[in-house]
Amino acid sequence: AARCALQEDQTFAVTWPSSDGKRYTLYRSTALNEGFQLIETDLAATPPQNVFVDRAAGDGPAFYQVEVH
């Protein structure tokens, strides 16, 4: 399961378990009923865990989806 944490610099760090040979696509939404927008694609696995710092999240809530390839 992915986790998201607000950092001291007001960015979000999204972490999830990763596996060798996998690639990931990350999506963000500010409201679950509004759908998700693509924010990063073709992220390489960095086992045992990937970390993505979302510097463009802005103020307010953020929800993330991680897609495995």
Amino acid present at 51:
V
CB 35 within 8 A of CB 65: no
Nearest to 69 by CA among 32, 1, 21: 21
Give the pLDDT of residue 11: 76
How confident is the model over 11-35, as a mean pLDDT?
A: 93
Integer-rounded Cα Rg, in Å, for the chain is: 12
5 pLDDT exceeds 80? no
Give the pLDDT of residue 38: 97
Structure tokens at 9: 């610099």
Give the pLDDT of residue 68: 96
Task: For residue 44, name the pLDDT band (cuts at 50, 70, 90).
Answer: very high
Structure-model confidence comparison of residues 24 and 11, the more confident one: 24
CB 63 within 8 A of CB 27: no
